[in-house]
Amino acid sequence: MKKKIVFLILSCSMLFVGCANNMPIDNSPASDMDDGHSNMQSNDSTAVTVTIPTKYQNIDGKVTFDGEISYGSLDNLCCYSASLQKIDASLVEEDLLKEEKEYDSYSDTFDDEYGNSIDCTSYINVYDGFYLSSGPVSSNFSYSRGNSNFSYYAAAFRIEKKFDDYNADKFSTQEDLPFESRQEAYSQIGDFLKALGFDSDFEYVSYSLDHSTLQNEEVHYDMNGNIDPSENKDQWTQEDDCYYVALRQIFNGVPIYYPYVSTFVNEDVENYPINAMVNENGIFSLNIDQVFEFADEEKIDSVVEFDTVFDAVSDKFNDILDDSTYVFDLAELVYYVDLSSNNGIYEVYPVWIIKGNETSGDSETEIQVFVDARTGDEIIPWTQEL
């Protein structure tokens, strides 16, 4: 079973992964043409053209789509096989351990993505929050240091939308902090990823965790679920300013999506495969889950019209016999990595992720629907139970 430590649980592990390009996230459509359309690729013998709008409106029964269609690239869409990119942790472990000086090491045996048993070693100093580990799957890497404020950050910055106390939207994703720019912080991560041997492209979202907002948002609870102000940090200062940076992989201009087990199915920043925290002293935590390399390219001649995609979503929800309504405002083209294979080689093909909200009475819930871009059929992403 693969590991994932969600940001700021930070009890002992943080993942880390590779990157080559500094490419800020951009959810705008790939095409800025006046007619708002783009042409799909063709095969070698017959030109097959599909028109995909950048904005779309349609209503069918209880289902509405009114929003943007986002795609990084519609040229040369393909199917692939994927495997995990391998990192060489020895390239950085020696320097990190030399810097830490005092630590304990623990070894155990786990299965990698191919089902082979491998030995994994973790290095820990519980007194200053140092943790370093790689594996068991090829692209896993975890690193953290200096945990004195981790519990405070976790109480003040809450990124998981499924919880009522979500507050990541209170922190800017555009403003720079005084100690360095967002781009400079991201460059530090990129340099570390290169040192691990990663050559993938990524895009990122960076939250500026400024001490004033952190202080205003910090909330601790006691064992009975009551707010306990006595646990609050004595004082938040500018020295506590840091960036939380989340990265997802891009391949040939298209984002990579895979569901992290049943708990982490949605495509969202909180589930990006890399997250890091950077302050004035550099990277102090970094998590890497699965990052892929691709082979066995097979050209796709065409994708279905977006009306067909909408029909798949409409049919799904109009068949539900209740009073809920469904409003979608974003469709994003991604490469879906099907992790159901147990041999370390995974099928990859393009899908549309349709994002919106279900409204039932006074309750509103975010939902996502996944539609095969080749056929217009809904897919259910394969997940492994925790």
What confidence tens digit (pLDDT) does each residue in 20-38 have?
333 333 333 333 333 333 3
Q: What is the pLDDT of residue 18?
A: 32
d(CA 136, CA 94): 19
- Phi and psi, residue 226, nearest 5°: -95, 145
| Distant-in-sequence, close-in-space partners of 315: CB < 8 Å, separation ≥ 6 | none
pLDDT band at 148 (very low <50, low <70, confident <90, very high): low
Q: Which structural domains are found in the chain, ordered by start?
A: 37-81+295-379 (2.40.128), 85-293 (no CATH)
pLDDT band at 49 (very low <50, low <70, confident <90, very high): low
Q: What is the pLDDT of residue 386?
A: 56
d(CA 258, CA 349): 11
Please say whether the beta carbons of 53 and 45 come within 8 A: no
Query: If you average pLDDT over residues 127-136, what whole number do you get?
Result: 89
pLDDT band at 90 (very low <50, low <70, confident <90, very high): confident
pLDDT > 80? residue 367: yes
Query: If you average pLDDT over residues 152-169, what whole number do you get?
Result: 92
pLDDT in tens, 91-114: 888 889 988 888 899 999 999 888
pLDDT > 60? residue 352: yes
Query: If you average pLDDT over residues 225-229, what whole number do you get?
Result: 89
Q: Which of 12-21, 105-114, 280-289, 314-323 has the lowest mean pLDDT?
A: 12-21
